[in-house]
Each structure stands twice: as structure tokens, then as C-alpha cells.
């Protein structure tokens, strides 16, 4: 499909005229003069942008707002949910600039670029985009929430992560004192904290199951496992590896002074509307501590058997086996192949009020309502064998 087919003909490129959003919406009869005045009063109290206030108070939707602006300015309105993006065109605008000016390049027409923007009335953004892209540009109006989702789908956070890694290198300086490092990694807002936040956000965005932080002889490598395959997220100065390992151990409640022995722990991070449980494993190597994290998306990570990609004939046989009253099912495969996903999907399939379902796990990765889940603990001799024997007396 030609991207042009998704749009109405765009006007000749040019800087939009200076208009006030409230006046435009009143002219379009999207809000009344009284509603405009009420919003202006609220704006003086809160300092928020008018468009955001109108949406938050329910006076207008994002789609209506963008559509109204498009009609008034005689520019296209674009639905990004169905737009056929071209990666090479999108990447004409660097990620940092795209996020800063809330803009996305949609089409390259040779002498003109069509750029989707959340605020077509932002003349400063128009001028900066023209300067950065070194092209004449024409603009299209899009809902801001669609733009935010498109950023996460079309751009990886690798540029942001690399920038934060460089900031952390500068923050640490040439010599790292252990006391200073410990204080730094415990401070919210410190470069190491922001770097890890971006690493987690990027990993969740691409559906990664694991994050690897690996010190090498020549530097530090951060990789993520997606669909069973490791992909490099960024490479940095190996000095920041110590700060990352210290911060992760602090989050997991581990001994931050112990670097000679492997350690295991877990913690949770909140990313937008998701809670991610993180299983951390550290391992001392020749070049520093390696840290590997398994990411477990509570709620969002649960899939049904129909959604895990099992061939129809195998899925039918698997369901038949799950329906039996006795037997053994072995689920095997390499790291990242989907063993945990398959097992939890199977548990969700058989979870019913008339059944007593007990799981014995190490660790309990997802919490399933209605099931009895038991965490093995070798330190107190709560082994798989002991728990399984006890389960037989629990009327499963």
C-alpha cells in the first residue's frame, strides 16, 4: 500500500499561521465560549496546557481535538493506528527530536516531508523540525496518545540508553570510590537509576524475557533476549558495570559488598501501568560482576493456550492430555523458548472452581488466583520431594 493512499492531499508546505487553540475550537463549535472561559480559568490555576485540560475534563476527546485543528488549518488528519509506516522515513528524524517535539515523519515526497505532530499550533516546534530535517515540511494532525504509542513501537530506546550510559560514565569519573559509588546508586534520580529504568522500559517494549549486563575486557555489553535470541541493546565503558551491579543488588536486598560469590534475589519495578517482577542473578567474572535478570510481567504476561503459537493439531492433543485425571507432561526446551509461558497457559486452562490445583515452583513466577502455589526453599529443606509428598495429602 502506498502511504499516500492513507491521506488526503496535503497543502503546499509552509509555516502555519499563529492561532489560539481556544478560538479554533470555538469556531469549529467543538466547545462553547462558556466552556472556553471555564478552561482558561482552570488553566490559570493549574498551569496546564489548554488541550490537556479540555481532554481531562471530558469536554473533548483527543480525536476530536486533532480533527478540529486539521479542519481549521486545512491539513490532513492521520490515524496512526492504521498508517503504513516506513522505517527509513521515520528514522529521518532522530528519536530524541521526535519525542521532544512530539513529531513523526510520515512521508518523503522528495522536496517536502509530511510530519505528524500532536500540536499543529506549536510554531517553535515547526521551525526546529524544519531546521533538523533540512527539508520543507508540511504537517498533519494526530492524537497525542497515538503518537506516544507509535514512538514506542517505531523507536527503540537505544539512543536514550546510550546517552544515559555516557552520563553515568561522566558521573563516575576516572576513579570510583566504593563509598561514593554506594551513595550514588542509592539515590533516586541518579544517572544509574535512570539508565536502569530506560533499560527495563526498552526490554518490556520489545517483549524481552531477559536482560543481560555483561562486563567484557573492552567494555560493558547490555543485551536483551527476544524470542529466544539475544540482541545487543547498548555497549558502554565497563566502569559503569560496577554501578549497575551495585544498584541492582540494592534493589534486590542483596549484600552489595559481596563481589566474590554468586547471589540471587528478586524485586519489582513499576513501568507505566505494568508491574514487572525481576529475578536477579549475579555472577563474578574476570572483568566484574555479570547480572542477568528474568522479567516477569504480572497479569500482562499471562497468555491463553490459543495465543502461544502452538500448531492446531498439537494444541488439540495437548488439551486432551490436560483433561486427563492422571499422567505426566514434560515441557522442555532451551532458554527463552516458552516453557514457562506454556506451563502457565496450561494452568490457566485447567483452573476451575471444581478442581484443587497445586503447583510446586522455584520460584513462583506468576500469581494465579484460585491455585495453591508453593515456593520451594532448599535452605530450610523444603524440597520438591517433600512438597510433592505433602501435596498428596491436600486432596488435589
- 363: preceding bond cis by omega (within 30 degrees): yes
Question: Sorting pLDDT into bands at 50, 70 and 90, what band is 22?
Answer: confident
Give yes or no: residues 128 and 181 share one domain. Answer: no
Q: Which residues contact 274 (CB under 8 A, 6 or more apart)?
A: 204, 297, 298, 299, 300
DSSP string, 163-205: HHHHHHHHHH-SS--HHHHHHHHTSTTSHHHHHHHHHHHHHHH
Tell me the average pLDDT across 33-40.
Answer: 85
Q: Within a domain: residue 168?
A: no
Tell me the average pLDDT across 49-64.
Answer: 80
What is the pLDDT of the chain when averaged over all its residues?
82
> Coil, strand or helix: which one is 41?
helix
Q: At residue 10, does pLDDT exceed 50?
A: no
Residue with cell 515523519: 105
Q: At residue 312, does pLDDT exceed 60?
A: yes
Residue with cell 532448599: 378
pTM greater than 0.95: no
Beta pairing class for 372-375 and 358-361: parallel
Give yes or no: residues 365 and 329 share one domain. Answer: yes
Give yes or no: residues 138 and 31 share one domain. Answer: yes
Task: Provide the percentage of residues in the chain whose pLDDT is more than 90.
Answer: 26
Give yes or no: residues 288 and 327 share one domain. Answer: no
Tell me the average pLDDT across 244-257.
Answer: 91
For 38-76, b/e burial (b = at least 16 CB within 10 A) is ebeebbeeeeeebbebbbeeebbebebbbbbbbebbebb
> Coil, strand or helix: which one is 343?
helix
Cα(100)–Cα(215) distance, integer angstroms: 32
Give residue 35's pLDDT: 86
Give yes or no: residues 333 and 291 share one domain. Answer: no
Give residue 138's pLDDT: 93
Give yes or no: residues 292 and 378 share one domain. Answer: no
Instruction: Say which CATH number the domain at 136 has.
Output: 3.30.300.160
- Please calculate the CA angle 275-279-283 and round it to the nearest 5 degrees: 150
Give yes or no: residues 128 and 31 share one domain. Answer: yes
Tell me the average pLDDT across 14-19.
Answer: 61
Supply φ then ψ for residue 294, to 5 degrees: -95, 130
Cα(54)–Cα(36) distance, integer angstroms: 9
Q: Within a domain: residue 9?
A: no
Give yes or no: residues 86 and 190 share one domain. Answer: no
Mean pLDDT check: name the lowest of 56-60, 159-163, 218-222: 159-163
Give yes or no: residues 31 and 95 share one domain. Answer: yes
Q: At residue 9, does pLDDT exceed 60?
A: no
Tell me the average pLDDT across 338-347.
Answer: 88
Instruction: Say which CATH number the domain at 206 has.
Output: 3.30.450.90
Mean pLDDT check: name the lowest of 65-69, 199-203, 334-338: 334-338
Give residue 147's pLDDT: 87
Write out pLDDT tens, residues 77-111: 999 988 888 888 998 998 778 888 889 999 998 88
Residue with cell 563481589: 259
Q: Within a domain: residue 62?
A: yes
Q: Within a domain: residue 373?
A: yes
Q: Shortest CA distance to 161 belongs to which of 269, 90, 267, 236?
A: 236
Contact 340/365 with Cβ under 8 angstroms?
Answer: yes
Q: At residue 297, does pLDDT exceed 90?
A: no
Question: Sorting pLDDT into bands at 50, 70 and 90, what band is 374?
Answer: very high
Q: Within a domain: residue 108?
A: yes
Domain boundary among 147, 168, 196: 147
Q: Within a domain: residue 158?
A: no
Q: At residue 376, does pLDDT exceed 80?
A: yes
Domain boundary among 262, 297, 332: 297
Give yes or no: residues 289 and 181 share one domain. Answer: yes
Question: Sorting pLDDT into bands at 50, 70 and 90, what band is 255?
Answer: very high
Give yes or no: residues 289 and 194 share one domain. Answer: yes
Give residue 214's pLDDT: 95
> What is the chain's length?
396
Q: Within a domain: residue 15?
A: no
Instruction: Say which CATH number the domain at 349 has.
Output: 3.40.50.300
Distance of CA 74 to the CA centre of its chain: 35
Tell me the average pLDDT across 312-317.
Answer: 90
Give residue 41's pLDDT: 85
Distance of CA 299 to the CA centre of its chain: 15
Supply φ then ψ for residue 264, to 5 degrees: -130, 140
Give residue 74's pLDDT: 84
Contact 151/94 with Cβ under 8 angstroms?
Answer: no
Give yes or no: residues 25 and 137 share one domain. Answer: yes
Tell me the average pLDDT across 222-233.
Answer: 83
Q: At residue 283, does pLDDT exceed 90?
A: yes
Q: At residue 281, does pLDDT exceed 90?
A: yes
Write out pLDDT tens, residues 121-134: 888 899 999 999 99
For the chain, the domain total comes to 3
Q: Shortest CA distance to 237 belongs to which of 284, 301, 173, 189?
A: 173
Domain boundary among 240, 272, 297: 297
Dihedral, CA of residue 36, residue 39, residue 44 and residue 46, to nearest 10 = -160
DSSP code of residue 242: H
Q: Supply the range of the domain harboring residue 72.
A: 21-147
Q: Shortest CA distance to 73 belongs to which of 8, 29, 121?
A: 121
Q: Within a domain: residue 167?
A: no
Amino acid at each position: 500500500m502506498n502511504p499516500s493512499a492513507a491521506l488526503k492531499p496535503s497543502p503546499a508546505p509552509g509555516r502555519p499561521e499563529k492561532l489560539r487553540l481556544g478560538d479554533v475550537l470555538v469556531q469549529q463549535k467543538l466547545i462553547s465560549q462558556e466552556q472556553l472561559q471555564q478552561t482558561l480559568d482552570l488553566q490559570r490555576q493549574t498551569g496546564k496546557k489548554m488541550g490537556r485540560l479540555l481532554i481531562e475534563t471530558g469536554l473533548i476527546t483527543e480525536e476530536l481535538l486533532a480533527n478540529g485543528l486539521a479542519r481549521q488549518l486545512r491539513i490532513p488528519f492521520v490515524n496512526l493506528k492504521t498508517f503504513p509506516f516506513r522505517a527509513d522515513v521515520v528514522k529521518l528524524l532522530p528519536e530524541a527530536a521526535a519525542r521532544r517535539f512530539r513529531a513523526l515523519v510520515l512521508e518523503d515526497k522528495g522536496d517536502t516531508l509530511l510530519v505528524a505532530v500532536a500540536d499543529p499550533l506549536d510554531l517553535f516546534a515547526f521551525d526546529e523540525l524544519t531546521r533538523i530535517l533540512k527539508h520543507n515540511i508540511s504537517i498533519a494532525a494526530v492524537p497525542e496518545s497515538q503518537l506516544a504509542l507509535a514512538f514506542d513501537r517505531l523507536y527503540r530506546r537505544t539512543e536514550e540508553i546510550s546517552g544515559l550510559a555516557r552520563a553515568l560514565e561522566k558521573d563516575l569519573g576516572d576513579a570510583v570510590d566504593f563509598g561514593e559509588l554506594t551513595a550514588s546508586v542509592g539515590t533516586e534520580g541518579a544517572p544509574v537509576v535512570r539508565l536502569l529504568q530506560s533499560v527495563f522500559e526498552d526490554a518490556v517494549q520489545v517483549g524481552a524475557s531477559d536482560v543481560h549486563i555483561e562486563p567484557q575486557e573492552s567494555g560493558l555489553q547490555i543485551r536483551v533476549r527476544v524470542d529466544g535470541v539475544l540482541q545487543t541493546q547498548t555497549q558502554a565503558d565497563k566502569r559503569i558495570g560496577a554501578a549497575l551491579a551495585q544498584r541492582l543488588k540494592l534493589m534486590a536486598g542483596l549484600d552489595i559488598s559481596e563481589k566474590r560469590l554468586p547471589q540471587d534475589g528478586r524485586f519489582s519495578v513499576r513501568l507505566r501501568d505494568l508491574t514487572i517482577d525481576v529475578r536477579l542473578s549475579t555472577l563474578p567474572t574476570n572483568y566484574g560482576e555479570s547480572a542477568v535478570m528474568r522479567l516477569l510481567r504480572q497479569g500482562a504476561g499471562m497468555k491463553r493456550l490459543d495465543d502461544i503459537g502452538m500448531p492446531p493439531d498439537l494444541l488439540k492433543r495437548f488439551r486432551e492430555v490436560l483433561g486427563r485425571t492422571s499422567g505426566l507432561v514434560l515441557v522442555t526446551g532451551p532458554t527463552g523458548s516458552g516453557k514457562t509461558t506454556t506451563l502457565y497457559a496450561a494452568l490457566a486452562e485447567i483452573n476451575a472452581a471444581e478442581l484443587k490445583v497445586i503447583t510446586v515452583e522455584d520460584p513462583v513466577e506468576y500469581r494465579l488466583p484460585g491455585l495453591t502455589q508453593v515456593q520451594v526453599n532448599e535452605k530450610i529443606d523444603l524440597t520438591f520431594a517433600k512438597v510433592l509428598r505433602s501435596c498428596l495429602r491436600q486432596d488435589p
